[in-house]
Structure 1
Amino acid sequence: MQKTLASFPGSFKKLFGYLMDETKDLKVLFHDFEDGAEGFELVAARFCYNKKSLDCISFWTWSELLVALKECQDLLSASDSSLILEKILDCVVTRLASLVVASPCTCSSENTRISWWFEDLLVLKIDLIDKVIRMSISRNIDHAMISKFLLCYQRSRFLTATPTEKCKIMEVMINLLSLLDRSSFSCKLLFGILRVVSSLKISSHHKSILENLIGSQLDRATIDFLLVPSSRRKGYVYDVNLVLRLVKAFYIEGRCFVLASRLRKVASLVDSYLVEVAADCHLSPSKFAALVLVLPDDARESHDRLFQAIDIYLEVHGGLCEAKKMKICSALNYAKLSTDALKHLARNPKFPSRIAIQVFINQQSKLENLFEDKTHLVDTFSSSVFAEESIDEKVSSDQVLVYAKRINLPNKAEHLDVQLQAMQCTITELEKYCGIMQTQIGNIPRTRLSSLGNNARFLPKLCS
């Protein structure tokens, strides 16, 4: 042993140099050596193994590599590194990447055959796991398999970990997940991690990374995922600020371009969330307004669910001033509301009076466009096909036209309800007349259509 140590420069050579020729047994005592015999063995190995010896590590068995990793982590700090450790890690990851290591047990499924090594690595501390996973990512090991292992590791280590250790595990796990392909883990997994860290004191930096990961997959989430309880000091039931940050993270992840289909899914999710939180009497108008305005107008094809949420909120918060109501209602696009929603909105006393006027103007515009289209069709058919029809039918047509012409936009808000009823009656009459025309067209003999000559193929199609 003394010959081996004395062959290296430094204190060992000076200590043993003049004793090299003595034949008697030599004993060397190290008092209070850190980590005892195992520590000395590792230190001696770090100084005494040459490159040729390190090359032999690649021929070690899987179990020998695991034992060596365990010994390294017990003796080296997180910031420590050694040539031996790097060589062992390289061999371990190489085996995982090539899948040449045979499973120690007989596996019946492909998934088990690939992931059998999960349990073997659970004994490693999180700092060493960080090194293994980062090296595995650089070797293009399947990202989905890595994310499954991280979840398995977190569940296993949490059984005995202290709060401080749990924070460390989650922070490293979040960092590693951010390096993986977004399709390699589910939105459900991320929200599960969010629930875990909500009770831990992880850094704000790592919370931000996690929320950005969730935001990138927000279109895959469900309403149950978003209903995260808020802290007691905030007062309201659900964590509205979290949802606002997730939606903004969705836009940041998509940069300047987000697929319309993904945007529609997020809009539908936000509308469902709005309906859920609208009944919270502690939710402030500013927070609710921020929620209804967090998405652009083109994110929604219909504003009916948004109107429903606002209606519920105004019902619960009856004492709001007109300015706050207008701020909330500014998110509504009346052109994207159905006829029933417009009718309800115009008669709803909870909404500001100015909203009712705007709704009436929008409804009037829709009716005028509809009336022009129907009148054009009626005139065309009256001059070509229905010239020989009965006087009663002509009188019915004239009644519809006269009734429609009576509609006029009043300047006073108190007449809105009466005028809206008149518009609904007019639409009903026009639809009824359209049905009559369709029936009559179907009853026209082919001989009469043929008498129209080439103009027959230009007959307009009504009420398709």
Structure 2
Amino acid sequence: RPPRSKLTSEIKLHLCGSYFDLDKELLASKSARIAKILRENPQENLSVSLHDIPADSETIEIVAKFCHGFDVDLTPENAVPVICAAHYLAMTESHCPDNLQNRAVVYFQREVLPSWTNCLKALKNSVNLLHHAAKLGLLDLCVDSVVAMVREDPRLLGDPLRDGEMPTSYRPNPRRKLFDLCWKSEDLTSLPLELYEPIVESLVLNRVPGEFIASNLCEYARTWLFSGDDDDTPMYETRSKRLTVEALVRMLLPDGGKKGSDPPIVVPSPILFRLLRYAVALEATAECRSRLETAIGRQLDRATPADLMIPSRGYSKGEKYDTECVRRILKNFYCSYAAAEAEDGGGSRLTRVSELIEEFLAEISSDGGTKISTFTEFAEMSAAAASSTGRSCDGIYRAVDIYLERHREMTKSEREELCKVVDCSRMSGEALQHAAQNERLPVRVVVQALFVVQLKLRETVASRRVEATERQKREEEEEEVEEEEEEEEEEDEAVRAEIEKMGSKVMELEKECCMMRREIESSRQQQQQKVSVWKEVKRKFGCVGTAAKNDCNCHVKKKK
């Protein structure tokens, strides 16, 4: 139950645009500042003394309730304002135990800092108290807490941005929805620029992956720049948007487009071109536009013809599109392309840019405000790019034809000057046929087109003759080869016949050898048989052996 105050101590304060009926004794019991003021001068007008209190009417009401003994409801939204007001009023523990400042600080530490959503809510509601909150260190605590949570889970910033891909619409990370019970779609992109930029700078210093930071920056641009009708934007919002563009460019392109210091992620070309359009329309600083032009030039091969259609601010006085800006972008591309070609080649990039220039040339050729000098300069750039890639000049001829159709008031000398960029020798046959019958072209160009047609016709006839001669030569060579193959086959047949003949002779010789072998064997057996009979006769007469040979002969002789 709140204590009752004496009627003599009641005062009416006018603070923050509202009136409050308060008890100054109860205020002094909780606030050392008010107590000191009343001690020095009990009749002091507190409305004047407290005119610079860093609070709004809602915060003053919370302070008044607390001083009068009522319970106060601290929330993430009012925690920072209450701490700032309590600090201003010196509502410290040394003046009164369990005072408001300590109670709010404890709530801030326990309920706000550990929660992603509560941190962002607290930051959003401290915009009008930035100086006081920063002085008390509250902003640094919130920023450090947010950065720590992002380092642990970078997807709190949204889906990562891949090189050159357009970011999808922001979808809160499921992890945040699951573990943060008070989740209400709070995101960094909901913060105003003066709070958002320091957080991003801290994320970069803490080496959070660049693809997550770039994705969040692109979403921030869509939230704060690319929404609403820009034609009805008030002047104060125009200034705010200009500051936003310049800050986003600083954060997306921290290197300033310097050579050899590429950004951590390739920002999609549509985002860069859209930022450039806003930078031009809002008259951003020259440094801001230069950074964008340099970044776009380094990845110009990723752009589309529509991206280059940057409206000119002085359209009523001159050209419809900002050709000077496109010229600077092309210059940046050629500088980066020369370096890339020296390192690892880049022919495909140059081909895409050559096609892009031709499309842009065709678009500006239909603009009645396009000067001949401007058109000629871009046509020469396109011709140089087409020559380097070996492409035809049909696109340049088409743009010249459109320009002549749109600017019929041109003099003969102007048409002659314009058509110098047309190189008939590098046009296709279809384009040459069209040029030969084009009444808008100067006679010189028509004659040149006819000459090139005749020249190409001669070359075609000559090449066909050469092809016919070569074909006939190949046929003759093929016939000679066939004849040689036939002769080789005949020789092979003769060799095979001779081999077969020799084989038959060998077989006959083998047969004769076999017969002779059998005859020799039979004669040998007969001879052995005769020798064995004679030995038997000698045995019977006892003349076996060589020693008894003479004796045997002697016995026979005696019988005679």
Paired with 2:317 and 2:389, the residues of 1 have a C-alpha distance of: 29
Match of 2:217 in 1: 150
Q: CA deviation at 1:130?
A: 1.0
Match of 1:175 in 2: 250
Higher deviation after alignment, 133-142 or 191-200: 191-200
| Deviation sequence 1:131-180 (CA, Å, 0-9, x none) | 11122123332333323322433444467982222221121112111138
Query: Structure 1 residues 301, 200: CA separation in 2 closer, same or farther (over 3 Å shift)?
Result: same
Q: Is the 8 A contact 2:318 2:369 kept in 1?
A: yes
Match of 2:149 in 1: 95
Structure 2 counterparts to residues 224-303 of structure 1, below 5 A: 224-231=306-313, 232-257=315-340, 259-295=346-382, 296=384, 297-299=387-389, 301-303=391-393
Paired with 2:279 and 2:194, the residues of 1 have a C-alpha distance of: 19
Overall identity of the aligned pairs, in % = 24
Query: Structure 1 residues 191, 101: CA separation in 2 closer, same or farther (over 3 Å shift)?
Result: closer
Match of 1:336 in 2: 426
* Unaligned residue ranges in structure 1 (runs of 5+): 1-24, 104-108, 387-440, 455-464
Give SS of 1:282's match: coil
Query: Structure 1 residues 98, 40: CA separation in 2 closer, same or farther (over 3 Å shift)?
Result: same
Higher deviation after alignment, 64-73 or 199-208: 64-73
Paired with 2:425 and 2:440, the residues of 1 have a C-alpha distance of: 20
Q: Is the 8 A contact 2:155 2:212 kept in 1?
A: no
Q: TM-score, normalised by structure 1?
A: 0.63
Query: Structure 1 residues 87, 369: CA separation in 2 closer, same or farther (over 3 Å shift)?
Result: same
Give SS of 2:186's match: helix
Query: Structure 1 residues 283, 33: CA separation in 2 closer, same or farther (over 3 Å shift)?
Result: closer
Q: Is the 8 A contact 1:215 1:249 kept in 2?
A: yes
Matched, 1:35 2:125: no
Match of 2:240 in 1: 165
- Which residue identity is paired with 1:113? P
Q: CA deviation at 1:338?
A: 0.7
Match of 2:482 in 1: 450
Match of 2:287 in 1: 205
Give SS of 2:274's match: helix
Paired with 2:474 and 2:301, the residues of 1 have a C-alpha distance of: 54
Q: Is the 8 A contact 2:154 2:212 kept in 1?
A: no
- Which residue identity is paired with 1:451? E
Structure 2 counterparts to residues 51-450 of structure 1, below 5 A: 60-62=113-115, 65-66=119-120, 69-70=123-124, 73-77=127-131, 85-99=139-153, 112-113=173-174, 119-157=186-224, 162-179=237-254, 181=263, 183-231=265-313, 232-257=315-340, 259-295=346-382, 296=384, 297-299=387-389, 301-360=391-450, 362-363=452-453, 365-380=455-470, 385=475, 450=482
Query: Structure 1 residues 243, 220: CA separation in 2 closer, same or farther (over 3 Å shift)?
Result: same
Q: CA deviation at 1:229?
A: 3.7
Q: Is the 8 A contact 1:303 1:333 kept in 2?
A: yes
Paired with 1:100 and 1:293, the residues of 2 have a C-alpha distance of: 47
Higher deviation after alignment, 336-345 or 225-234: 225-234
Paired with 1:371 and 1:127, the residues of 2 have a C-alpha distance of: 74
Q: Name which one, 1 or 2, has greater alpha-carbon Rg.
A: 2
Provide the alpha-carbon RMSD of the alignment: 4.4
Paired with 1:94 and 1:115, the residues of 2 have a C-alpha distance of: 14
Paired with 1:114 and 1:289, the residues of 2 have a C-alpha distance of: 57
- Which residue identity is paired with 1:137? V
Q: TM-score, normalised by structure 2?
A: 0.53
Paired with 1:113 and 1:234, the residues of 2 have a C-alpha distance of: 53
| Deviation sequence 1:82-127 (CA, Å, 0-9, x none) | 7664454233212101129999xxxxx9963378797343453312
Give SS of 2:399's match: helix
Paired with 2:379 and 2:152, the residues of 1 have a C-alpha distance of: 51
Q: Is the 8 A contact 1:133 1:176 kept in 2?
A: yes
Q: Is the 8 A contact 1:73 1:124 kept in 2?
A: no
Give SS of 2:306's match: helix
- Count the aligned residue pairs: 361
| Deviation sequence 1:205-260 (CA, Å, 0-9, x none) | 22222233333332222233333443432344434333333322322443533521
Paired with 1:235 and 1:163, the residues of 2 have a C-alpha distance of: 25
Q: Is the 8 A contact 2:154 2:209 kept in 1?
A: no
Query: Structure 1 residues 452, 243: CA separation in 2 closer, same or farther (over 3 Å shift)?
Result: farther
Give SS of 1:76's match: helix
Paired with 1:121 and 1:451, the residues of 2 have a C-alpha distance of: 86
Q: CA deviation at 1:304?
A: 1.0
Match of 2:555 in 1: none
Paired with 1:228 and 1:100, the residues of 2 have a C-alpha distance of: 35
| Deviation sequence 1:287-319 (CA, Å, 0-9, x none) | 211221233231561211211111121223234
